[in-house]
């Protein structure tokens, strides 16, 4: 049991960018899992085509080198091969298109109404988050600003230029609607492990739905950078029963962020 526990503690999900990372971050939402599965589907056909084309190219260069084959052939037609090389490449995109469209349309499908709406408002050099589901008047939203922690300030264990002072707290396993809009210039709200990237265009309010399946802290970056220290987005998913107390404590500064689960 102790051995298993130790093993668990050493396997941390990748929810932030790692140095020299080649693959995607670990999926935290069904959308991101779908994106990764689609990537694997397409990559299979990609490798097939790569190997096939490379083999033909190398064969042609090797066997028809002018020293080995000084007299070229004069074949100009070949009906069978022309039919085959037209049909096969048109079947392959069909195999790619089917899972791609399945994912695309299932992302848009509204199965359940969202439980929470969170507004992410991009300002030139920070983000403001508004939780307005429980106002009884126009002024009462829970609103807070989220600034990137500058390079000199992070505590031991925090990621440089990825941490923020106030994180977006969301309940896990809940359908969320995120409304993204900017206050000034175009921004983009992106969290790779949740499979979210939503552009914020002035005068327009865009919606994106996610449902974070596991608790944790997810790091993202603004994908239309507007200045230094602008980029960080941090989403923290907490168990649903803790959500109420976390949000009501949100405006109290948290002094021990690295110890939080």
Which residue lies nearer to another protein by CB, 24 or 143? 143
Q: Which positions ≥6 away from 164 have C-beta within 8 Å?
A: 146, 147, 148, 149, 232, 233, 234
Least distance (Å) from another protein to the CB of residue 41? Answer: 25
- H or E element: which one contains 121? strand 116-123
For 205, other C-beta atoms within 10 Å of its C-beta total 12
For 175, other C-beta atoms within 10 Å of its C-beta total 15
For the chain, what percentages of helix, strand and coil (3-state, to nearest 5) are there? 35, 25, 45
Judged by the rule CB under 8 A, the positions of this chain that interact with another protein are 108, 110, 113-117, 119, 121, 130, 132-133, 135, 138-139, 141, 143, 171, 174, 177, 179, 181, 183, 198, 203-208, 240-245
Least distance (Å) from another protein to the CB of residue 112? Answer: 9
Which residue lies nearer to another protein by CB, 16 or 198? 198
DSSP state of 91: H
Least distance (Å) from another protein to the CB of residue 39? Answer: 22
Which residue lies nearer to another protein by CB, 162 or 179? 179
Least distance (Å) from another protein to the CB of residue 1? Answer: 31
Which residue lies nearer to another protein by CB, 16 or 179? 179
């Amino acid at each position: 049991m102790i051995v298993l526990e130790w093993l668990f503690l050493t396997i941390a999900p990748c929810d932030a960018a790692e140095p020299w990372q080649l693959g995607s971050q670990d999926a935290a939402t069904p959308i991101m899992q779908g994106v990764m599965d689609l990537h694997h589907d397409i990559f299979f056909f990609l490798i097939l085509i790569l190997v096939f084309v490379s083999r033909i190219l190398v064969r042609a260069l090797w066997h028809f080198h002018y020293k080995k084959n000084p007299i070229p052939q004069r074949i100009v037609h070949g009906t069978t091969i022309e039919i085959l090389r037209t049909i096969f490449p048109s079947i392959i995109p069909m195999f790619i298109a089917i899972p791609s469209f399945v994912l695309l349309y299932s992302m848009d499908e509204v199965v359940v109404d969202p439980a929470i709406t969170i507004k992410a408002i991009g300002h030139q050099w920070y983000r403001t988050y508004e939780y307005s589901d429980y106002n009884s008047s126009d002024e009462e939203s829970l609103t807070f600003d989220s600034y990137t922690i500058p390079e000199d300030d992070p505590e031991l264990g925090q990621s440089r230029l990825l941490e923020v002072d106030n994180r977006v707290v969301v309940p896990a396993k809940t359908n969320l609607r995120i409304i993204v809009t900017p206050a000034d210039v175009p921004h983009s709200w992106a969290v790779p492990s949740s499979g979210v990237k939503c552009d914020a265009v002035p005068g327009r309010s865009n919606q994106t739905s996610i449902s974070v399946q596991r608790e944790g802290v997810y790091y993202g970056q603004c994908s239309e950078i507007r200045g230094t220290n602008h980029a960080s987005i941090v989403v923290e998913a907490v168990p649903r029963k803790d959500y109420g107390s976390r949000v009501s404590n949100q405006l109290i500064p948290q002094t021990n962020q690295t110890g939080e689960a």
